[in-house]
Amino acid sequence: MPLDRFSIIESTLREGEQFVGANFTPEQKVEIAQALDEFGVEYIEVTSPAASPQSLADCSRIAKLGLGCRVLTHTRCTLDDAKLAVDTGVDGVDVVIGTSPMLRQYSHGKSIQQITDAAIEVVSFVKSQGLEVRFSSEDSFRSDAKDLYHIYSAVDQAGVDRVGLADTVGVGTPTQVHQLVSILRQVVYADIEFHSHNDTGCAIANSFAALDAGATHIDTSILGIGERNGITPLGGFVARMYSLDRDLVKSKYKLPMLRELDRMVAEMVGISVPFNNYITGITAFTHKAGIHAKAVLNKPETYEILDPQDFGMTRYISIAHRLTGWNAVKDRSEQLGLSLTDKEVKQITAHIKALADARPLHLADVDDLLREWVVKRRSFGEVSSEEGKVE
Ligand code: HCA
Ligand code: CU
């Protein structure tokens, strides 16, 4: 598994632009490109210059920003598109054509041999211009594997830098992805890219399966935006890889930027960051049940495989509910600077549970209870001493 040499092809500016809410202005595209570059992705992919006059202008502008990452554009498998792409000044061209019987019949109408011929022509042209070139088969997982190997071998011999497998409809399972990539790894010399749609929630798992089987490049987009419900999300993929090799991922990417990347793109496309989003969702580092809270307070790794600090995030322990535990309540009392014995905290915790059974509680209610307890104890203590005096 070439875990140590995987690259991210960040496609917010291509696949992401295909998200229904995305209508990026040229300035927003530049902002996204620069932020992704600063984050550290190895590649960004931008919409085809053939899509519209503004797309052409935006592609050229981004290609000339002088970014540290490589800038790719994405085109159909035709010489005209490839020429337009090369003239924008990008570092490479990602070429794609449908190979499944469904797309051959209902989309472009070409036979496998016609696809192969077009692919060789376009790949050879882009290579002759000194650019990086990738050839990808749309709808790979509903294509005949023999057809794929035939086309991939041909483009491999034509000098393609990468071949791409695209699970365009999100139908592949991790096992299928692993099998297809493993065989492809034996068939071609080129690097292997994987593009995974998330219709069945397998995008991250499938991307990992692809890497595990020998793929080298994974397509992502910020928050996973793309056609329908999108593709492998950048943050989720990073979480997957971080959990396997924390030091590598920390050295490759500026992880605390993820939160701002997600926030920025969410705002641009008119959505909110989901509560359960990988890393940056509001509950990603929130612990609730008393048993969890106790262990996390002792050693965060008990229930956290991602260290929130590495992502500029903070852990939150929720205590205002019936599942709470006295260790977490004690921790809160210490945060508030209140000195309570364990016995007292246990009594207060029992009270919190009873109250939470009756109505929803908030942290402020718990804080009030803790403070009131200390005040009452103090005045009780004062009263007893006065009583003592009277006596
Ligand atoms: C598309 C289809 C695509 C291409 C992926 C790729 C897909 O919208 O053009 O170039 O590898 O999912 O098949 O995004
Ligand atoms: Cu796609």
Q: What is the pLDDT of residue 4?
A: 75
Flag whether 280 is in a domain. no
> Based on the domain organization, do 62 and 96 belong to the same domain?
yes
SS3 286: strand
Q: How many CB atoms lie within 10 A of CB 347?
A: 14
- DSSP letter at 95? E
- Side chain identity, residue 159: G
Question: Which amino acid residue places its CA nearest to atom 9 of ligand 1?
Answer: 96
Does the pLDDT of residue 281 top 80, yes or no? yes
Summarize pLDDT for 347-362 with one digit per residue, the tens. Answer: 999 999 999 999 999 9
**Angstrom distance (rounded) from CA 141 to CA 223:** 24
pLDDT tens-digit map of 174-184: 999 999 999 99
Q: What digits encode the pLDDT tens for the residues 130-164?
A: 999 999 999 999 999 999 999 999 999 999 999 99
Task: Output the residue whose Cα is nearest ligand 1's atom 10.
Answer: 96
Radius of gyration of the chain (CA): 27
d(CA 267, CA 288): 29
- Residue among 9, 10, 13, 15 whose CB has most ligand 1 atoms within 8 A, to mutate: 15
| Residue 90 DSSP symbol | -
- Atom number, ligand 1, closest to the C-alpha of residue 140: 13
pLDDT at 2: 56
Catalytic position from the list 178, 197, 217, 292 = 292
Q: Are residues 217 and 326 in the same domain?
A: no
Max distance between CA atoms of the chain, in angstroms, equals: 107
Averaged over 102-123, what is the pLDDT?
A: 92
Q: Do 260 and 151 reside in the same domain of the chain?
A: yes
Same domain, 28 and 134: yes
10 Å Cβ neighbour count for 108? 16
83 by Cβ neighbours in 10 Å (0-12 / 13-18 / 19+) ranks as middle
Q: Which of 241, 269, 297 finishes a domain?
A: 269
Do 302 and 261 share a domain, yes or no?
no
Same domain, 131 and 36: yes
Which of ligand 1's atoms lies nearest the C-alpha of 168?
A: 12
Ligand 1 pocket check for 184: Cβ under 6 Å:
no
**Residue 74: active-site member:** no
Instruction: Output the pLDDT for position 381.
Output: 62
State residue 163 phi and psi, 5-degree precision.
Answer: -110, 145
- The CA distance from 200 to 368, in Å, is 45
**Cα 139 from Cα 317, distance rounded (Å):** 44
| Amino acid residing at 276 | N
Residue 391's pLDDT is what? Answer: 29
| CB of 15 sitting under 6 A from ligand 1 | yes
Q: Ligand 1 within 6 A of 94 CB?
A: yes
Q: Look over the chain and give the mean of its residue pLDDT values, rounded to a whole number.
A: 95
Domain that holds residue 151: 3-269
- For the Cβ of 198 lying below 6 angstroms from any atom of ligand 1, the answer is no
Nearest CA to ligand 1 atom 4: 138
Shortest-distance Cα residue to atom 8 of ligand 1 = 15
246 shares its domain with 293 = no
| pLDDT, tens only, 71-93 | 999 999 999 999 999 999 999 99
In a domain, 325, yes or no: yes
* Residues 218 and 300 placed together within one structural domain of the fold: no
Question: 10 Å Cβ neighbour count for 383?
Answer: 10
Q: Indicate which ligand has the atom closest to the C-alpha of 167.
A: 1
Whether residues 374 and 228 fall in one domain:
no
pLDDT in tens, 203-215: 999 999 999 999 9
Asked whether the predicted pLDDT for residue 389 surpasses 50, the reply is: no
Over residues 292-346, the pLDDT tens digits come to 999 999 999 999 999 999 999 999 999 999 999 999 999 999 999 999 999 999 9
The C-alpha atoms of residue 170 and residue 229 are separated, in whole angstroms, by: 10
Tell me what pLDDT residue 102 has: 85
Per-residue pLDDT band at 104 (split at 50, 70, 90):
confident
Is 138's C-beta closer than 6 angstroms to any atom of ligand 1? yes
Residue 386's pLDDT band, with cuts at 50, 70 and 90, is very low
Point out the ligand 1 atom lying closest to the alpha carbon of residue 96: 10
User: Which of the four pLDDT bands, split at 50, 70 and 90, describes residue 1?
Assistant: low
Same domain, 97 and 216: yes
pLDDT band at 107 (very low <50, low <70, confident <90, very high): confident
Q: Give a yes or no: residue 391 inside a domain.
A: no
- Among 167, 159, 90, CA closest to 122: 159
Residues 193 and 322 in one domain: no
* 221 Cβ closer than 6 Å to some ligand 1 atom: no
What kind and span of H or E run contains 43?
A: strand 43-46
Residue 75 CB less than 6 A away from ligand 1:
no
96 lines ligand 1 (CB under 6 A): yes
* Structure-block tokens of residue 368: 């009030």
Residues 329 and 238 in one domain: no
Q: What is the pLDDT of residue 378?
A: 78
- Nearest-CA residue for atom 5 of ligand 1: 166
> Could you give the number of structural domains in the chain?
2
What tens digit of pLDDT does each residue of 17-58 get? 999 999 999 999 999 999 999 999 999 999 999 999 999 999
Q: Give the nearest ligand 1 atom to 94 CA.
A: 10
Q: Is residue 309 part of a domain?
A: yes
Residue 368, pLDDT score: 97
Angle between helices 326-335 and 290-298 (to 10 degrees): 60
C-alpha 141 to ligand 1 mean position (Å): 12
* CATH label of the domain that carries residue 332: 1.10.238
Share of the chain above pLDDT 90, in %: 92
**For ligand 1, mutation pick of 74, 75, 81, 140 (most atoms within 8 Å of CB):** 74
Q: What is the pLDDT of residue 59?
A: 98
Pocket lining: 233 vs ligand 1, CB cutoff 6 Å = no
CB of 119 within 8 A of CB of 78? no
Give the CATH number, domain containing residue 17.
3.20.20.70
Relative to the alpha carbon of 229, which ligand is closest?
Answer: 2
pLDDT for 331: 97
